[in-house]
Amino acid sequence: MHSRVEKIYKNLEEKIDLIYIENGSCPDINFLYLTEAESGIFEGCVALAYPDSVEIVVSLLEEESAKKTGKKMYVFKKREERKEILKKMLNVDKIGINAKNFSYEAYRKLKEITKAEIVDVSGALSKARLVKEKDEIEKIKKACNIVSEVCEEIKSYIKEGIKEYELSAELTYLMMKKGATEPSFTNICSFGENAAEPHYTAGDRVLKKGDYVLLDFGARYRRYISDITRTFVYGKAEEKQREIYETVKKAQEIGFENLKAGVKGGDVHNAVENFINSTKYKGRFIHALGHSIGLLVHDGYGLHPSIDLTLEENMVFTVEPGIYIPGYGGVRIEDDVLIKKDGIEILTKAPKDFTEL
């Protein structure tokens, strides 16, 4: 049996005949999850997941990429052919779709070719992706190794006068030189006061002595991603900069201590937030402690009290506490962590000691 499909069907709340995943104008990451395709774009293609198999309706353009998956496939040259193939395959009673990623136009066109009842199975898809298989973990580990090495190498590029976007470009180059397909997301590369903005986009701020250097970046390797953050100080640090850093580092250690199978994700966040709020930096931790990673950077779930999630073996989460002070700067330390039966494995290995460059 196809193990990914089996996981999805186990999570379903009602019986269905098949799951219809369209990789159309709204690309759906579940198409890649189900087909396990490592190359190809598959625009306009469809994955059909049955309780024991996956089949692909694929354009001639993507035929060679689809062959590599080993899945049964139906190739179309024109849109009319695609429609006729799907009409036959969708002659069933009940179809599941990923409503979170399904446009109204796609829904309307689906209703034109099937009389089946259409139900949302997005929750079952997200839950299945949350618990990783062995091959997924290996790819994430490789992506983590890439960024861990880059964290060390990038230090030699951090020099007075460099601009944020220039350093960001070096991050991308180093990742791809080490085997990444591409960055997991737009690099966050912030100097000085800009480090107070958690999702900052690299600009033309020039590095000067005494600045924070916050680097948040990730590598995509064979579809799977990593996500790491390290914060340095360029030149001689102020005592306040060191104090903030050590507070965040201690907060992350508390996160690691509380992260384990059987624990509520929100409880891990609360332990970290309570610690930061016990310091002079109360209220300056302004986001969730972490998020699941996999085929996406934010892959469906987070470590936060607003999300009802009990942690399980083989889930992979970031643990990334931060303290942000507008007009001054901020510190975030982020690692990717695999939850194991008897503890955790920190997958990103770059050093975290306070560093003046």
| pLDDT value for 3 | 87
Mean pLDDT of 317-341: 98
24-36 residues labelled b (16+ CB within 10 A) or e (exposed): beeebbbbbbbbb
Q: pLDDT tens, 50-83?
A: 999 999 999 999 999 999 999 999 999 999 999 9
Residues 6 or more apart whose Cβ sits within 8 Å of residue 172: 183, 187, 217
Per-residue pLDDT band at 24 (split at 50, 70, 90): confident
- What pairs with residue 345 in β-bridges? 338
Fold of 3-130: Creatine Amidinohydrolase; Chain A, domain 1 (3.40.350)
| pLDDT value for 33 | 97
Q: pLDDT tens, 168-210?
A: 999 999 999 999 999 999 999 999 999 999 999 999 999 999 9
Determine the residue type at 181: T
Helices (H) and strands (E) in the chain — how many of each? 10, 19
- What pairs with residue 170 in β-bridges? none
State in words which class domain 134-346 has: alpha beta
Burial class (CB in 10 A: 0-12, 13-18, 19+), 89: middle
Question: How far is residue 197's CA from residue 214's CA, in Å, rounded to a whole number?
Answer: 10
Question: How far is residue 249's CA from residue 254's CA, in Å, rounded to a whole number?
Answer: 9
Whether residue 303 contacts residue 291, with contact meaning beta carbons closer than 8 Å, is answered with yes
Domains of the chain, by residue range, sit at 3-130, 134-346
CA distances from 218 to 108, 186, 222, 224, 344 (A): 37, 9, 13, 10, 20
